Structure 1
Amino acid sequence: MARIDGRVPRGAIEITTGQANRVWYITDEVPYVLKHYQDPARAANEAAALALITHHHGPGPRLLAAAPEGRPAWTAQSAVQAEPVPVDRFLKELADPLATVHAIPGTHFGRLAGATRHPTWQAYLTDRLNLYARTAPELVNAVNSVRRELDRVNPNTAPRLLHHDLQPGHLVSTPQGHGLLLDWELAAFGDPLSDLARLAVRLHLTSPQPIITDPGSRDIRQRLRLYWRLHLLADAALATDPAVRAYALDLTDQLGQSAGR
């Protein structure tokens, strides 16, 4: 296998799928995937997540090499021979690989690398709310509403690995029937329920409850709804896709109107 140095070798096949990053499949003696990033912080975070997944033999690509400080920043990942899981089987086939991911302990709260590390989960969530308020001042009332809910719920949890970008297309199945999760740029340490709440947003559910088969305790329901509202705010404030942002803004507005009645 030739030395991996982040450069695109002759014969590479570009498999970029409309993201800000560029991705190539390298038909080497041992095939691999090369990814160039616009944001070095995302490269550092994905490299850290893949290194952790590799160490724990988790359900994802193996990290072969990385240079988040490179120009451009890049990672090289093991090529995954697998097919996307159809939407109608997504939740069922997600359960086992996600349980494995959520069993991996963290050292702090928030992104694994390339960002501030937080001593508590609540501190991380407060920091996110502050970012949404700064980025989209028109959402300050919604932010303050979620801030009050955060204070009421006061989630206290041990840090666990989160994929934090679950959606159809990011779960694939190998010919042997093993589920693998791709695209770890947004991975974080936090409450596993946050992963499920973000998925509810990505599936355009008007409530996060259908994501969990067992409604669980009142505490679980409260935390799930809190995280769901936080992820809606994230899309409303930061999403670059106009359709994603419009959907999040509309639902955030509806929730605000309901709370005001």
Structure 2
Amino acid sequence: MAGIDGRVPDGATEITTGQVNRVWYIGGREAYVLKHYSDPARAANEAAALALLTHHRAPGPRLLDADVKGQPAWTAQSAVQAQPVPADQFLDDLAGPLAAVHAIGGTHFGRLAGAARHPTWRAYLHDRLNLYTTTAPDLATVAAALRRDLDRVNLDIEPRLLHHDLQPGHLVRTTGGLRFLLDWELAAFGDPISDRARLAVRLRLPSPQALPAHRVTPADRQRLDLYWRLHLLADAALATDPAVRAHALSSLLAHPDRAL
């Protein structure tokens, strides 16, 4: 899009919402959202996700331009004129957009860009466990139990696009009723059930089985429970919010013998 160079133009409105990145709304004939990133890897990943969504005409912002090697790294995204879906309608409204996203296939497992690619989903999950135990050695016992369970589960799946940060506020609805998913920094290729497990963690549900589902097999439930524990471990090890870390740790310790 002509005229976009990553710099904040006069008259831009900052819409940053407490995250480490800074975001502005730029009005005009074709309004857009400019995002500056503190982590270039996240910029690269979101740019790749938005490009994929744009190609497939999926329910997300269009990528207008980007420079993931800039100082700072940035993306320019189409402005979505919409409001967050109310919490009591979130799960119902999420079903359609999420199905469209999960229909998009990938060529590898893990982040789309800015990180190592993995030939299998199991290899990606093992890599995540290694990161969690390196960051939080005191959680090594919990991670070891998850690693044993991980190796007992059938993970022979095809890579599908995951949002991997589903939560209220990231799903919006236009006045015309269209639903869009925002904020794709953590997008990955993997098992769609992992998106459901991460959502259960974000909603602080006592169990991932509390999420409504149709035609769920015992194997699906097994993977859902495993991914839920993995996402809790991620929060316990990496979350910057002390309250999030404390909740994740207490949830993990409440199920020390939750075997598959």
TM bin (shorter chain): over 0.9
1:64-213 equivalent positions in 2, closer than 5 A = 64-213=64-213
Match of 1:41, SS?
helix
Distance 2:120 2:198 in 1: 20
Counterpart of 1:14, as a letter, is E
Counterpart of 2:173, as a letter, is S
TM-score by length of 2: 0.97
Counterpart of 2:178, as a letter, is H
Counterpart of 1:239, as a letter, is A
Distance 2:26 2:9 in 1: 7
Q: Deviations over 1:176-211 (max 9, x none)?
A: 101100000000000000000000000001100121
Distance 2:178 2:108 in 1: 29
Match of 1:152, SS?
coil
**CA positional deviation for 1:253:** 1.3
TM-score by length of 1: 0.97
Is the counterpart of residue 217 in structure 1 residue 212 in structure 2?
no
State the percentage of identical aligned residues: 70
Structure 1 runs of 4+ aligned residues shifted over 6 Å read none
Distance 2:50 2:115 in 1: 17
Q: Which runs of 5 or more structure 1 residues have no equivalent in the other structure?
A: none
The equivalent residue for 1:27 is 27
Distance 1:33 1:254 in 2: 42
Counterpart of 2:109, as a letter, is F
Distance 2:83 2:43 in 1: 24
Q: Which runs of 5 or more structure 2 residues have no equivalent in the other structure?
A: none
Counterpart of 1:155, as a letter, is L
**CA positional deviation for 1:154:** 3.1
Distance 1:160 1:212 in 2: 21
Q: Deviations over 1:74-96 (max 9, x none)?
A: 00000000010011000000000
Match of 1:153, SS?
coil
Match of 2:255, SS?
helix
Distance 2:258 2:128 in 1: 22
**CA positional deviation for 1:215:** 6.1
What value does the CA root-mean-square deviation take over the aligned residues? 1.2
Match of 1:131, SS?
helix
